[in-house]
A and B are shown apart, each in its own frame.
Chain A
C-alpha cells in the first residue's frame, strides 16, 4: 500500500472507531443509569401510597380484533384497589366481535365501563385514543392495551405519584415476560428491561422523554391543552412525550417489578421486525416534526437528536463495527491504530457483560428461572438481533422515503392497504409503496385477523 493510502486508511479507521466508541459508550452509560448508585436505584421505584386524597382516572383501552383477550383485561382492571376510575373501551365500527365483548363488560359494570365507537375510515391507535378523549371525565387519562395485565394496586401508586411529585405525566413500567419463548424474545424482554428499568428514568431526569405506548398517565387538562395524540404519527406515544417535555411538562417514571404491566413479545420474528419498523419510522416522523427543537437546553436537544436517531445509529454501528474490526485485523495498520479500532469492540463487550448481569437481575426481579442456556442464547443472539435491528432501520427509512413521495396516492389506494399477515422481507418491500402511504398501514380496514403489527396472544 502506498504511504498516503496507508495514512488515509489509518486516519479513517481511527476517526470511525472513535465515533463508534463514543456512541456506544454514551448508550451504555445511559442504559446503566438506574444502577449508578444504590440511591438512584431506590429512587426509580414508586413511593408507598399514603391513602390520602384521590384523583379520578379515565382509563382508555383501545381494542381491535382482540375479543380473545379483552374480557380478561377488563376484569383485571376492575379488580383495581383504587375507588375512582372509569374504563373507556374504544372499538371500531367495523369490529362487531370486539364490540360485543366490550358491551357485555359494560353491562356487567355499568358505572365503571363505557364503550366508545371509533368511526374513522382508516383506523389506528392515536385516532382511537383521540376519539375517546372528549368522553373522559377523570382528572387523569391512562392508556392501556387490550392484552395488558395490570396490577390492582397500580392506580393507587400512580395517584400517589401524581400528588407527591406534582407531575403532569406518570409513566409506569411495562415488561415483556416470555423470555423463554425464543432467542429474539429473550433479547426483546431484556431490551424492555433496560429501557423501563433504567433508561427512561434518565430521560425523565433530563426533561426529554419519549413515552411508552401504555401504562402512561397524563393529567386530562394537560393532554387536552396539548391537543391529544397526533393521529398521523406512527409512534404517537413517543410523539406525545416529546411534545409534552418540549412544553416543559414534568414527567415522572416509576418502576416496580411487581407493579409493571406485563406483556408478551410479538409472536414471530417477522412481526417483531414490522413492529420495530413502525417504531423507527415513527421516530423519524417525530424527528422531522421538530417539536424537540423547543427544548430549552442544548444538552436536552442533543439527547433528543441522539435518542430519535438511535435506531439508525444502532443499525449503522451494527454493520460498521465488524467491518472495522476485520479491516484492522487484516490490513497492515500501525499497532496504535489497531488498538483504537478495538475500542468499539471493547465497549460492545462491556455492554454484553452488563446484559448478562441484567438477565440475571431480570430473573431475580420476576422470580423467573434463567438457565445457563438462556445466557448462551443471549450472547449468540446478539449479532443476529443486531441484524434484525439493522433490517428494521433500513426498512423504516425506505418506507418513510417512499411513503412521503407517494403521499398523493393515499386517497386512491385505500383498498390495497392490507398487508399479508407475514410476508417475507422481499415481498414486504415490494408492497411497501402502497402500504406506506397511509400513516398506519398496518391498521387498515381489511378484516385480516392480525392487522396490528405488534399483535399479542
Chain B
C-alpha cells in the first residue's frame, strides 16, 4: 500500500512520470520572483485530467453508464417493494407541484424540504403531461436519472483524485452495479439526491484548475446536499480535507473560507425560513424546527450495530443480504488507506473519501442512535472509491514495486501473471454473487399486490370522492388519482392518530373511516396507533392481494364487527 499509483501524483509531488499520463497536460506557470507569495509550488507541474476532451475516458464512462442505466432501469417498477418513505416524499413533491406548500399535511420540519422540492422539479414535466403517472412506481424512473448523474460524477471524481482510468471505471461499476446499490438507488429516497450533490461538491473541491469559484460552488453544493438530507452533515469534514489538499497554498485561504461561507450561508437559509414563518422555536399551537430536530434526535435508538438482537443489526443484515463486497470491502479499504496515510500517495489522494466512509461507519456504530435502512446510501460512493483505490494500489504494488530497469523477462511475466490471478480471483468471488442479486432485481415482481390494490380502489369503490380510506403513503397518490380527496379522503394512516388536524375530522374514530388498506407497514405500525388499530379490528377484508406477510388486504369497516385482522 505504500506504492505510488501509476498515474497518481501527490499535489506537491514533482514526480516526472506524472507528466506522461495520457490525457494530462502540465500548466506552464510563470516563475515568481522575489520573496512575495512563496510562489514556488505554483511553478511545479501538476497532472491535469481533462475528462471532456479525453476520448478513452468518455468511451469507458459512456459504456459503463449504459450498463448501469440498463441494470438499474430494467424492472425498476417491480422491484424492490414500494416503500412507505418513497410514497411520503413523492406525495410531498406532488403537494409542491400542486402549489399546496411543502406538504399536503402540516409540514413539521421532519426533514429539510429541499429534497422533495427537487423531486417535484424532476417529476414536473411527466406529471404535467400524464398526471396519473405521478405515483411511486413510474416515478422511480426519475431516480434513474439521479443515479446516472451520480455515477458519472463518481467517475469524474475518481479521475480528479488521480486514480488510473481502469480504477475510475471500477469505482463507477462498484457504485452502480452492486446489488445493494441497484436496490437502493432505484427507490425515491432523499439520500440518492443528497449523494448527487455531495459528489458534485467533491468534484468541485478537487477541481484541477483550483478555481476560487469552483471551491465556492463546492460549498454551495455541500449545503444543498445537507438541505436535501441532513445526515450529510457528517461528511462535510471529509469534503474539507479534500478541498484543503486540492487547493494551492497561495490561494487556499480565500478558497476554503469562501467555501465555508457559501455552505454556511445557504445552510442558514433553512433556520431563516423557519424564523420567517415564526416556527423556529417550539411553542403551543405550531410546529417548529427545533421541535423537528428534537424529534429526530430523540428517535428511539435501534441498538448497537454489532449486537445480534438489535434493530440496527437487522438493518446491517439487510444490507449484507444484497452485497458484502461493497460495504465490507470498502470499509476495510477505507481503514487501510487511513492507516497508511503516511506512506501511501494513493492514501493521501483518497484521504477525503476514506475519511467520509470512516466517519459514516463510526456514526452507524454509535450504540444509541437510530439507524435507518437508507443510511448506507450516503456511504456507497465513498466505499466504491476507496475500494477501487485499494485495488489500484495493490495492482501498482504487484506490477511496479521495486522494479529495476534491467528486470528479467521471467520476473516481469511473473508480475503480470500474479496480477492476472488476483484479478480473476476477485472476479470469481464477486461476479456470481452480483449476478444472482441483480438477476432478482431484473426479474422479480414484488409490487403486484400494490398494483392490484390500487386498481381495486379505482374500480370497485362506488363513490371515491366521498369515501374515506386509511392507507400507507406508497398507495396514497394512486388513491388520489382515482378521485379520493387528498387529505380527508385518502388519509396517510398514521396521520389519523398523530396529526391533530386530521384526528379532528374523525370525531367518531374508526367509525368515520370506510376502508383500511392493510399493507405490511400499516400492520407493523398499527400497534402504537389506536385509531388505526381500532379500524383494523373493526373491519373485514373485502379483497386480498398476495399471500403471507407481504399480502395487502383491503378491509371495509363494519360497525358491528369485531374480527381480528
Residues of A near B257 (CB, < 8 A) are 353-354, 356-357
Bound state CA distance, A259 and B269, in angstroms?
A: 44
Q: Does B42 contact A (CB under 8 A)?
A: yes
Measured CA separation A152–B273 after assembly (Å): 58
Residue contact B42 to A39, C-beta cutoff 8 Å: yes
Q: Is A38 an interface residue (CB 8 A)?
A: yes
- Per-position 1/0 for B226-266, Cβ under 8 A of A: 00000000000000000000001011011101100110010
Task: Give the residues in chain B near A356, CB-CB below 8 Å.
Answer: 257
Chain A residues touching B, range? 20 to 34
Is B269's CB under 8 angstroms from A32's CB? no
Say yes or no: A349-B261 contact (C-beta < 8 A), given A32-B212, A38-B42: yes
Is B308's CB within 8 Å of the partner chain A? no
Q: Name the residue on A nearest B35 (C-beta).
A: A258
Of B23-31, B337-345, B494-502, the stretch lying at the interface with chain A is: B23-31
Q: B261 touches which one: A47, A256, A259, A353 (CB < 8 A)?
A: A353
Q: Which of B272-295 contact A (CB under 8 A)?
A: 272-273, 276-277
The residue on A at minimum CB distance from B257 is A357
Within 8 Å by CB of A339, from B27, B36, B269, lies B269
Highest count of chain A CB atoms <10 Å: which of B253, B254, B255: B254
> B27 near A342 (CB under 8 angstroms)?
no
Of residues 320 through 371 on chain B, the ones whose CB sits less than 8 Å from some CB of chain A are none
0/1 interface trace, chain B 34-50, chain A, CB 8 Å (1 if under): 11110100110000000
Whether A41 pairs with B37 at a CB distance below 8 angstroms is yes
Whether the Cβ atoms of B276 and A335 lie closer than 8 Å is: yes
The verdict on A45 contacting B33 (CB below 8 Å), with A37-B209, A37-B210, A353-B257 known, is yes
Q: Is the CB of A346 within 8 A of B265?
A: yes
CB distance from B39 to the nearest CB of A (A): 5
Residues of B within 8 A of A357 (CB): 253-254, 257
Q: Quick one: given A45-B37, A258-B35, are A39 and B212 in contact (CB under 8 Å)? A: no
Interface check B551, CB cutoff 8 A: no
Q: Render B41-82 as a binary contact track against A, CB cut-off 8 A, 1 for contact.
A: 011000000000000000000000000000000000000000
Are B251 and A38 interface neighbours, CB within 8 A? yes
What A residues does B265 contact at CB under 8 A? Answer: 346, 349-350
Q: Which residues of A have CB within 8 Å of B511? A: none
A257, B251: Cβ atoms closer than 8 Å = no
Q: Which residues from chain A contact B165 at a C-beta distance below 8 Å?
A: none
Contact B212 A36 (CB under 8 A): yes
B32 CB–A CB distance under 8 Å: yes
Whether A360 lies near B30 (C-beta < 8 A) is no
Which A residues lie within 8 Å of B32 (CB)?
42, 45
In the bound complex, do residue B258 and residue A46 qualify as a contact, i.e. CB atoms below 8 Å apart? no
Assembly CA distance A48 to B27 (angstroms): 19
Question: Complex Cα distance A41/B253, Å?
Answer: 13
In the complex, what distance in Å separates the CA atom of A113 from the CA atom of B31? 35
Most buried by B among A47, A259, A357: A357
- The reply to whether A258 and B30 contact each other, CB–CB distance below 8 Å, is no
Closest to B253 in A: A357
| Complex alpha-carbon distance, A335 and B269, angstroms | 11
Q: B435 at the A/B interface (Cβ < 8 Å)?
A: no
**Which of B33, B43, B254 has a CB less than 8 Å from the CB of A46?**
B33
Say whether B111 faces chain A, with CB atoms less than 8 Å apart. Answer: no
What residues on B are CB-neighbors of A41 within 8 Å?
37, 39, 42, 250-251
Chain A: minimal CB distance from B18 (Å): 17
Q: Are B39 and A42 in contact (CB under 8 A)?
A: yes
A41 to B252, CA, bound (A): 12
Let me know if B211 is at the binding interface, CB within 8 A: yes
Q: Mark A12-45, 1 if CB is under 8 A from B, else 0.
A: 0000000000000000010010011111011101
* A361 is an interface residue with CB less than 8 A from chain B: yes
Knowing A47-B33, A338-B276 touch, does A354 contact B254 (C-beta < 8 A)? yes
A38-94 with Cβ < 8 A to chain B: 38-39, 41-43, 45-48
Residues of A within 8 A of B43 (CB): 42
Q: Is A405 an interface residue (CB 8 A)?
A: no
Residues on B with C-beta less than 8 A from A346 are: 265
Given contact pairs A335-B276, A349-B261, A350-B258, A256 touches B36 in the complex (Cβ within 8 A): yes
Determine whether the beta carbon of A256 is less than 8 Å from that of B251: no
A122 to B549, CA, bound (A): 100
Q: Which residues of A contact B34 (CB under 8 A)?
A: 45, 256, 258-259
In chain A between 326 and 373, which residues have their CB closer than 8 angstroms to a CB of chain B? 335, 338-339, 342, 346, 349-350, 353-354, 356-357, 360-361, 365
Nearest CB of chain B from residue A427's CB, rounded to whole Å: 43
Q: How far is the CB of A116 from chain B (nearest CB, A)?
A: 34
Q: Within 8 Å CB of B251, what residues of A?
A: 35-38, 41
When C-beta atoms are compared, the residue in chain B nearest to A45 turns out to be B32
Report if A339-B273 is in contact (Cβ < 8 Å); known contacts: A47-B30, A257-B36, A357-B254: yes
Q: Mark A244-282, 1 if CB is under 8 A from B, else 0.
A: 000000000000111100000000000000000000000
A271 CB to closest chain B CB (Å) equals 31
**CB atoms of B272 and A339 under 8 A apart:** yes
| A366-B257 Cα distance, complex, nearest whole Å | 21
Per the bound structure, the CA–CA distance linking A33 and B31 in Å amounts to 19
B272 / chain A contacts, CB cutoff of 8 Å = 339, 342
CA distance A349 to B262 in the complex (A): 10
Report the bound CA distance from A304 to B250 in whole Å: 30
B213 within 8 A of A: yes
CB distance from B145 to the nearest CB of A (A): 26
B277 touches A350 (CB 8 A): no
Interface contact B212-A35, CB-CB below 8 Å: yes
Report yes or no: A35 in contact with B261, Cβ–Cβ below 8 A. Answer: no
Rounded to whole Å, the gap between the CB of A46 and the closest CB of chain B is: 7
- Return chain B residues, CB-CB under 8 Å to A339: 269, 272-273, 276
Chain B residues, CB < 8 A from A35: 212, 251, 254-255
A contact residues around B273 at 8 Å (CB): 335, 339
Contact B258 A354 (CB under 8 A): yes
Q: Could you say which residues of chain A place their CB within 8 Å of the CB of B253? A: 357, 360-361
Interface centre among A42, A258, A346, A361 (most CB of B within 10 A): A42
What B residues does A258 contact at CB under 8 A? 34-36
A29: B residues at CB distance < 8 A = 213
A354 to B29, CA, bound (A): 25
Q: For the complex, give the distance between the alpha carbons of A355 and B255 in Å.
A: 13
Judge whether B29 and A39 touch: CB under 8 Å: yes
- Contact status A37-B254, CB under 8 Å: no
Q: Please name all residues of chain B whose beta carbon is closer than 8 Å to the beta carbon of A37 when the two chains form the complex.
A: 209-212, 248, 251
A365 and B212 CA atoms in complex are apart in Å by: 19
In angstroms, how far is the closest chain A Cβ from the Cβ of B126?
25
Complex Cα distance, B39 from A356, in Å, reads 22
Centre residue among A32, A38, A42, A338 by max chain B CB count within 10 A: A38
Contact A42 B33 (CB under 8 A): no
A342 to B257, CA, bound (A): 20
| Most interface-central of A36, A47, A48 (chain B CB within 10 A) | A36
Within the assembled complex, what's the spacing in Å between the Cα atoms of A29 and B32?
24
CA A81 to CA B253, docked complex, whole Å:
35
Please, which residues of chain A bring their CB within 8 A of the CB of B30? 42-43, 45, 47
CA distance A197 to B35 in the complex (A): 16
Question: Once the chains bind, are A42 and B258 in contact (CB under 8 Å)?
Answer: no
Chain A stretch 221-235: residues in CB contact (< 8 A) with chain B:
none
Chain B residues closer than 8 Å to A365, beta-carbon distance? 36-37
Query: Known contacts being A346-B265, A354-B254, is A45 close to B27, with CB within 8 Å?
Result: no
Top 6 A-B pairs, shortest CB-CB distance? A38-B248, A48-B33, A35-B254, A257-B36, A353-B261, A42-B42
Can you name 28 A-B pairs with beta carbons within 8 Å? A29-B213, A35-B255, A36-B213, A36-B251, A37-B210, A37-B211, A37-B251, A38-B210, A38-B248, A39-B29, A41-B37, A42-B29, A42-B32, A45-B32, A45-B34, A45-B37, A47-B33, A258-B35, A335-B276, A339-B273, A339-B276, A349-B265, A350-B258, A350-B261, A353-B261, A357-B254, A357-B257, A365-B36
A39-B29, A357-B254, A365-B37 are known contacts; what are 11 more A-B pairs with Cβ within 8 Å?
A32-B212, A32-B254, A37-B248, A38-B251, A39-B27, A39-B42, A42-B32, A45-B33, A339-B273, A339-B276, A353-B261
